[in-house]
Amino acid sequence: MKKLLLVNGPNLNLLGTREPEIYGTSTLSDVEELSVAAAAEQGWQMQAVHSNHEGVLIDAIHASRYECQGIVINPGGLTHTSVVLRDALTGVGLPFAEVHISDVSAREEFRRFSYLADVARVRVSGEGIAGYATAVRRLIALIA
C-alpha cells in the first residue's frame, strides 16, 4: 500500500491549549486522525511524526525516503527559518505538501516568507485543520 509521511513541527503539540482564535480548539491528535482518515479514503497509509526538535524531523524525513511516496508537512515556525529542513525535503526528493492552519499571508510580515514555498508541490494555508485533509487529497491526486 502506498504511504505518506505526516510531519508536524515545533509547538504544534500545543494545539487546542492556547490561541484558539488563531489555531482553533482541535488537538494534534485530532489533526493526525483527520489526516490518516483523509489518506485512507484514497486507499493510502499515513505515518505521523511530531517533534519540537529540528534534527528529529530531519531524521524522520530521511527515513521516509524508501518507505513513503510523499510528505505532508506543517513545519511550524521552522517554515520561516530553516534552510536545513528545506535541504532535507529536497534531499530525499519526495513530493511534499506544505500546510498551515492559519493564513500565514495575513499575519505578521515574518510569516509571509517560507523556505519551502518554491519547492512544495502543494501549499494550503488558512483552512484550519481541515487544510490537512485538503493537502492530503491534493498531494495524492498529483502523485497517484
- Supply the residues annotated as catalytic: 23, 100
* Dihedral (Cα; 51, 138, 124, 94), 10-degree rounding: 50
On whether the CB atoms of residues 133 and 124 are closer than 8 A, the answer is no
- Do residues 76 and 115 make contact, with C-beta atoms less than 8 angstroms apart? no
Whole-number Cα distances in Å, 101 to 17, 35, 93, 134: 15, 13, 25, 11
Binding mask 95-124 for ligand CA2 (x = CB under 6 A): -----xxx-x------x-------------
Distance CA 7, CA 9 (A): 6
Residue 18 contacts ligand CA2 per CB under 6 A? yes
Among 4, 6, 15, 136, binds ligand CA2 (CB under 6 A): 15
Number of residues that bind ligand CA2 (CB under 6 A): 17
Site map 45..74 versus ligand CA2, x via CB under 6 A: -----------------------------x
d(CA 116, CA 73): 10
Separation CA 72–CA 83 (nearest Å) = 18
* Residue placing its CB nearer to ligand CA2 in the complex, 2 or 138: 138
CB of 47 to ligand CA2, least distance (A): 20
Please identify which residue in 4, 5, 12, 73 interacts with ligand CA2, judged by CB under 6 A.
Answer: 12
Residues found near ligand CA2 in the complex (CB under 6 A): 11-12, 14-15, 17-19, 23, 74, 76-77, 79, 100-102, 104, 111
